[in-house]
A and B are shown apart, each in its own frame.
Chain A
Amino acid sequence: MPSIVKPTAAHPSLVRNKLGLTIRDYEGSMSTLCAGCGHDSITAAIIRAFHESSTPPEMIAKMSGIGCSSKTPTYFVNGAHGFNSAHGRMPAIATGAIAANRSLTFIGVSGDGDSLSIGLGHLAHAIRRNPKMLYVIENNGVYGLTKGQFSASADIGSKPKKGDPNRMQPIDPMLLALTLGATFVARSFSGDKEQLVPILKAGLAHNGLAIVDVISPCVTFNDHEGSTKSYISSRKNITRVTEMDFVPPEQEIIAQISPQGKTAVTMHDGSVVYFTSLPEGYDPSNRLAAYSYLSEQQGKGEIPTGLFYVSTDQPELHELNATPDEALVNVPYSKLSPGAAALDKLMEGFR
């Protein structure tokens, strides 16, 4: 852990966002993770995404489970709300929180252990309910916090620091998400902020659950030779299959679709995601095609990154439940729970 807090000194040309805040206003406490951890890099990308999106810090809710990755919400946006749930339970807790207060901007940060091992069931049901939240899986293939045991995302043949290579099938969060009907499916790499930051911003704008799997090397327990999730091996096998630009709503007018066949997807809030460099004929709104493309690439040992699939026409949690536009926390209690007489009256209607 660093010996000092980050100096308050800042670069003289710091940019202010629409709220007049600098990127420093989106920082959190000093990280206590190992020096060089990919998770810290993702934290830096999240800070940038929030700053660039001009999200008011006090309107952010940071949800997480247990793990090194789940510790990271402490390291960004000090002024936000936060909840550390029990191991693997973040999706359920977050769904409840989102149900209660739809006026907040939700981010869930989880690990491969938290989401794919102990918490897999909760993740699956969150995907079904499609609450509006950016869901980041910081994927290092191990349980970092408990000293590096393989997690459910460990590849077959990957060598641990000590002991035998993994022989069990990995769970791939992208294929899983596509199968379960997720509405925003993307992968990136902690070492590629150029790609990661726009994906995170698009995920924040998405009206539903945006699942972003980020390969994030564990520098202490999974960065050795023979590991398939080390910095060097990730760099070797990662291919950016989709490049995307995220254009926030107010810039929409000036943005043009380039003649080279950029595919544009307009998000719920009016922002637009432009895709380029897709393999020929790739359609980011075709779930089946995305699935077969990904499984084919992964079969070849490649790690494709980019925004693979996005669907803007599936209902999110509140629409599914026909809740009012007003956040439920703001609805007077007497209206939310109108009492036994009102309940009797309702029941009467079913008789």
Chain B
Amino acid sequence: MKPTKIKDPNYFHKVVDCQWACPAHTNVPEYIRLIAQGRFSDAYMVNRDSNVFPGILGRVCDRPCEPACRRGRVEEKPVAICRLKRVAADHRQDITDRLPKAPATKNGKRVACIGAGPASLTVANDLMPLGYSVTVFEKYDKPGGLMRTNIPSFRLPEQTLDEEMGYILEMGVDIRYNSPVESMKGLLDQGFDAVFVGTGAPRGKDLDIPGRQEAAANIHIGIDWLESIAFGHIDKIGEKVLIIGVGNTAMDCCRSSRRLGGKDIKVMARRPRQFFKASPWELEDAEEEQVEIIINHAPKRFVLENGKLVGMEFERLEWDAAAKKSTLIDTVILPCDDVILAIGQDNAFPWIERDLGIEFDKWDMPKVDEKTYECSRPGIFFGGDAAWGPKNIIWAVAHGHGAAISIHNHCQGVPVTERPEDGMNLLTTKMGISEWAYSNDYSSSKREKMKHVDLVERFKDLKTEVEIGFTAEQTAREVQRCLNCDVQTVFTAKRCIECDACIDICPVQCLTITRDGEEEDVRKRLSAPSINLTQDLYASDPLPQTSRLMFKDEDVCVHCGLCAERCPTAAWDMQKFDLLIQLAGSEACTKQFA
């Protein structure tokens, strides 16, 4: 094997599983350590630098970091990364003077953002401090996009939204409410230097089966229905409610129904549970509220009596192991007063003329470059759900950061493909013999459980936030579960005397000294079986005494530092890795333009 190129920031970045998995590459271990030290405001700012909305995301993030978290490979459950983010947000002090500010003199460039969802607001957040004049056009009278109109306030309180939207808008963003953009051409005529499309995926899918038209009064499209609740247009629902679909939207629909008078609420799924789209925690939360989840039922028709919806007929299915093929068992009719359809969202761009040089593909989606976010017409960029269909908030933020780099390039006359690369810092944490600048002691405590407002109390008011947040004690325990994956084991081959001390001490058998070979072959000769091929093997230069190589399987290293403590020659060192993420106008970017 070739010696591992640890100078490439991607190598150690990948070891920080959570940060690597986070679309915005939030520096998770760093903020967890800051929380451990009680430095909540600092922890909040570390978050904000990359994910912009820590208070919001600390509650409702889809958390791709958690399934990736190393802790989940070492014991059962990952670190409660998301909940700890909320801790930082809840306990921060006034940080307004630490927020980025727009300079007094503008740079003369005007950027239009369509839609005031997380994608557009991230673009504004990144461009305002660089002197751009950013105008946001929003259909409704409030900012936030689906975060405000669809995510129920019992999961995400309005105040949290307002605060974090405010941090951006108060930089002097020219936000135009109640201003749906009805013609792209008309907008382009206004002479903006760049346009960002952050309009989301606004159209809920319908279900065209018999009875749909006749029963329309009691059949609701999930995302529209949730929006009507958010705007106060709807405040009740029938007692028996069927939700069709079992994604995250379905979870918000069933839980909202429960608060609007629904008593017997069933979520109807076509397939078995392991094939559900909803996150496990959303399912748990719904079931805690006594919503019933019914599997293997496919909708067949709406049943009407005297012109009114009274039930729905379903086919009962049996699936093969992969849930690819089904066989029909029989059909059943379930009584209901209302049905909510939560079976997906589509994009829709009726307001973009098709003769502007913006190409659309066969699914009528704009062709958008995955690296630059630019469509086929230079100067127009897409991000968030508008770019490649519905995703989530943290992806919208990541797209916003990426698009902001492109817009900055575009406006400064630099090709959008010329993107600054991430850098890194690597700094030893050694403070003395067996003394490190991080807490390397392993805590065996189990994941803390989020406490909820009790059921009676929470149903009294639609807006009562269900999750209480971690107590100080819970926080203190949970932070210690983080394995500090950013504190890297860095090896210097020429120092090693091959005494085996590191190999013997490693609690998880990460290390092996063996002769070189192809990776596949080396993986067969490791101290412990190599069971996770997605994790890298760190290969050293040849060792001085025997020319064998030191290998480290990164998979389950707990970053305890014992290898470095037991090494007589300091061939292993524990070094803190800092990913230097490039955002629009970051230093390296600026240098390029200077």
Q: How far is the CA of A55 from the CA of B509 in the complex (A)?
A: 22
Binds A, one of B43-51, B143-151, B493-501: B493-501
CB pair B501 A40 closer than 8 Å:
yes
Residues of chain A within 8 A (CB-CB) of B442 are: 4, 7-9
Whether A193 contacts B568 in the complex (CB less than 8 A), given A2-B434, A7-B558, comes out as: no
- Provide a sorted-by-A list of 19 A–B residue pairs whose CB atoms are within 8 angstroms: A1-B434, A4-B440, A7-B558, A7-B562, A9-B75, A9-B508, A24-B507, A34-B568, A36-B566, A36-B569, A40-B505, A41-B501, A44-B503, A191-B499, A193-B500, A231-B545, A232-B545, A235-B498, A235-B546
CB pair B565 A40 closer than 8 Å:
no
Closest 10 CB pairs of A and B: A36-B568, A7-B442, A44-B504, A3-B434, A36-B499, A11-B528, A4-B441, A35-B568, A7-B507, A9-B74
Query: Digit string of A191-219 for contact with B (CB within 8 Å is 1, else 0)?
Result: 10100000000000000000000000101
Q: How far is the CA of A6 from the CA of B531 in the complex (A)?
A: 22
Residues of chain A within 8 A (CB-CB) of B561 are: 3
A260 at the interface (CB under 8 A from B): no
Residues of chain B within 8 A (CB-CB) of A188 are: none
A36-B501, A41-B504, A191-B500 known, 20 other contacts, Cβ within 8 Å: A1-B434, A2-B562, A2-B565, A3-B435, A4-B440, A4-B442, A6-B562, A7-B442, A7-B507, A9-B507, A14-B528, A35-B501, A35-B566, A36-B566, A44-B500, A190-B500, A191-B498, A193-B500, A235-B498, A235-B545
Whether A231 contacts B558 in the complex (CB less than 8 A), given A7-B442, A11-B509, A13-B529, comes out as: no
Residues of chain A within 8 A (CB-CB) of B556 are: 9, 11-12
CB pair A13 B528 closer than 8 Å:
yes
Which residues of A from 1 to 40 have beta carbons under 8 Å from B? 1-4, 6-14, 24, 34-38, 40
CB pair B565 A3 closer than 8 Å:
yes
Q: How far is the CA of A235 from the CA of B566 in the complex (A)?
A: 21
Chain A residue nearest to B509 in the complex (CB)? A11
Q: How far is the CA of A190 from the CA of B440 in the complex (A)?
A: 28
Which residues of A from 157 to 179 have beta carbons under 8 Å from B? none
B306 at the interface (CB under 8 A from A): no
Which residues of B from 451 to 506 have beta carbons under 8 Å from A? 497-501, 503-505
Q: How far is the CA of A9 from the CA of B70 in the complex (A)?
A: 12
B96 at the interface (CB under 8 A from A): no
B158 to chain A, nearest CB (A): 42
Q: How far is the CA of A11 from the CA of B73 in the complex (A)?
A: 9
Interface of A is mostly: loop
CB pair A41 B546 closer than 8 Å:
no
B24 at the interface (CB under 8 A from A): no
CB pair B498 A35 closer than 8 Å:
no
Q: How far is the CA of A44 from the CA of B560 in the complex (A)?
A: 19
Chain B residue nearest to A43 in the complex (CB)? B504
A155 at the interface (CB under 8 A from B): no
| Contact residues on A (Cβ < 8 Å of other chain), bracket | 20 to 34
Show the binding face of A for B, using Cβ within 8 Å: 1-4, 6-14, 24, 34-38, 40-41, 43-44, 190-191, 193, 217, 219, 223, 231-232, 235
Residues of chain A within 8 A (CB-CB) of B75 are: 9
B444 at the interface (CB under 8 A from A): yes
Chain A residue nearest to B571 in the complex (CB)? A36
B404 at the interface (CB under 8 A from A): no
Whether A35 contacts B507 in the complex (CB less than 8 A), given A3-B435, A4-B442, A41-B500, comes out as: no
Residues of chain B within 8 A (CB-CB) of A11 are: 508-509, 528, 556
Chain B residue nearest to A34 in the complex (CB)? B568
Residues of chain B within 8 A (CB-CB) of A2 are: 434, 505, 562, 565-566
Residues of chain B within 8 A (CB-CB) of A193 are: 500
Q: How far is the CA of A173 from the CA of B260 in the complex (A)?
A: 87
Q: How far is the CA of A1 from the CA of B434 in the complex (A)?
A: 7
Chain B residue nearest to A41 in the complex (CB)? B500
A269 to chain B, nearest CB (A): 28
B567 at the interface (CB under 8 A from A): yes
CB pair B440 A3 closer than 8 Å:
yes
B492 to chain A, nearest CB (A): 15
CB pair A12 B500 closer than 8 Å:
no
Chain B residue nearest to A44 in the complex (CB)? B504
Residues of chain B within 8 A (CB-CB) of A235 are: 498, 545-546
Q: How far is the CA of A1 from the CA of B432 in the complex (A)?
A: 12
Whether A13 contacts B499 in the complex (CB less than 8 A), given A4-B562, A7-B507, comes out as: no
CB pair A231 B528 closer than 8 Å:
no
Chain A residue nearest to B508 in the complex (CB)? A11
Q: Among A6, A14, A43, A223, which residue has its beta carbon within 8 angstroms of that of B497?
A: A223
Query: Digit string of B347-363 for contact with A (CB within 8 Å is 1, else 0)?
Result: 00000000000000000
Which residues of B from 266 to 289 have beta carbons under 8 Å from A? none
Q: Among A6, A41, A43, A231, which residue has its beta carbon within 8 angstroms of that of B507?
A: A6
Residues of chain B within 8 A (CB-CB) of A9 are: 74-75, 442, 444, 507-508, 556, 558
CB pair A41 B562 closer than 8 Å:
no
Chain A residue nearest to B70 in the complex (CB)? A9
Residues of chain A within 8 A (CB-CB) of B569 are: 36
Residues of chain B within 8 A (CB-CB) of A231 are: 497-499, 545
Q: How far is the CA of A11 from the CA of B558 in the complex (A)?
A: 10
Residues of chain A within 8 A (CB-CB) of B508 are: 7, 9-11
Chain A residue nearest to B442 in the complex (CB)? A7
Chain B residue nearest to A235 in the complex (CB)? B545
Q: How far is the CA of A4 from the CA of B559 in the complex (A)?
A: 12
Chain B residue nearest to A45 in the complex (CB)? B504
CB pair B444 A4 closer than 8 Å:
no
Residues of chain B within 8 A (CB-CB) of A6 are: 505, 507, 560, 562
A41 to chain B, nearest CB (A): 5
CB pair A12 B566 closer than 8 Å:
no
